[in-house]
Amino acid sequence: MKILVAEDDLTSRLMLELIIGKWSFDVICADDGQKAWEILQQEHCPPIAILDWEMPGIDGPELCRRIKLLARDNPIHVILLTGRDSTEDIVIGLEAGADDYVTKPFDLNELRARINVAVRLVKTQASLSLRLKELKEAFDHVKTLQGIIPICMYCHAIRSDKAAWHKLEAYIQQHSEAQFSHSICPSCLHKHYPELEDEVLQMKKKTE
């Protein structure tokens, strides 16, 4: 999985690149906020971004605000990295859109644990987005009948948009998920099979 590290301090950036790379992540680095912003606007940008608070060009909190405004099915998970550790600063960072907050000097085990949490959340979000996409596609393929449907008053055939006439059951099956099971109503039984009417009714009572 790709992780963006945006850090203007060369030593800190190289250290993060080396450490995170050893944890089997593909690390992409940026030495200022503007370069990080350009990377994060790309279609296949890293799903996780570790951003330093104070950077030239665009600082961490402002970058967080811009990232959260991006229209993406899978939002970028942002970890804000800074030496500021006051409650007020933490609130500012989180309200700007950061998903997590790590203070300098950071503990390697803590950083790795927070990155692992980010990975789980990113994978969960991706799975949910895929499921929603599949449901939307399924909805789009559901056939429904709506509007005014021209139907013959005698034979009950239905006229399609192409001015062709179709049997009622064939038209409904084509435009919906319904399936037909043919039977005979009491009126038609009396009209077409009067000699069988009593026998059929008696058999029906026995099965009820």
Is residue 138 very low, low, confident or very high in pLDDT (cuts 50, 70, 90)? low
Name the pTM for this structure. 0.65
User: Which CATH number belongs to the domain containing residue 24 in this structure?
Assistant: 3.40.50.2300
Mean local confidence (pLDDT), 150-171: 77
One domain for residues 46 and 92: yes
Q: Which domain holds residue 176?
A: 158-207
Question: What is the pairing mode between strands 77-82 and 100-103?
Answer: parallel
One domain for residues 136 and 175: no
Is residue 105 very low, low, confident or very high in pLDDT (cuts 50, 70, 90)? confident
One domain for residues 169 and 120: no
Give the domain-ending residue among 114, 140, 166.
Answer: 140
The full 3-state SS of 13-49, as one line of letters, equals: HHHHHHHHHHCCCEEEEECCHHHHHHHHCCCCCCCEE
One domain for residues 72 and 174: no
pLDDT of residue 142: 54
| Segment 195-204, tens digit of pLDDT | 877 877 777 7
One domain for residues 73 and 175: no
One domain for residues 57 and 127: yes
Is residue 80 very low, low, confident or very high in pLDDT (cuts 50, 70, 90)? very high
Is residue 52 very low, low, confident or very high in pLDDT (cuts 50, 70, 90)? very high
Question: What is the pairing mode between strands 165-166 and 158-159?
Answer: antiparallel
Calculate the average pLDDT of the chain. Answer: 85
One domain for residues 173 and 89: no
Residue 185 lies in a domain: yes
| Torsion on CA atoms 7, 13, 15, 16, rounded to nearest 10 | 50
pLDDT of residue 77: 95
Q: Quick check: helix, strand or coil at residue 100?
A: strand
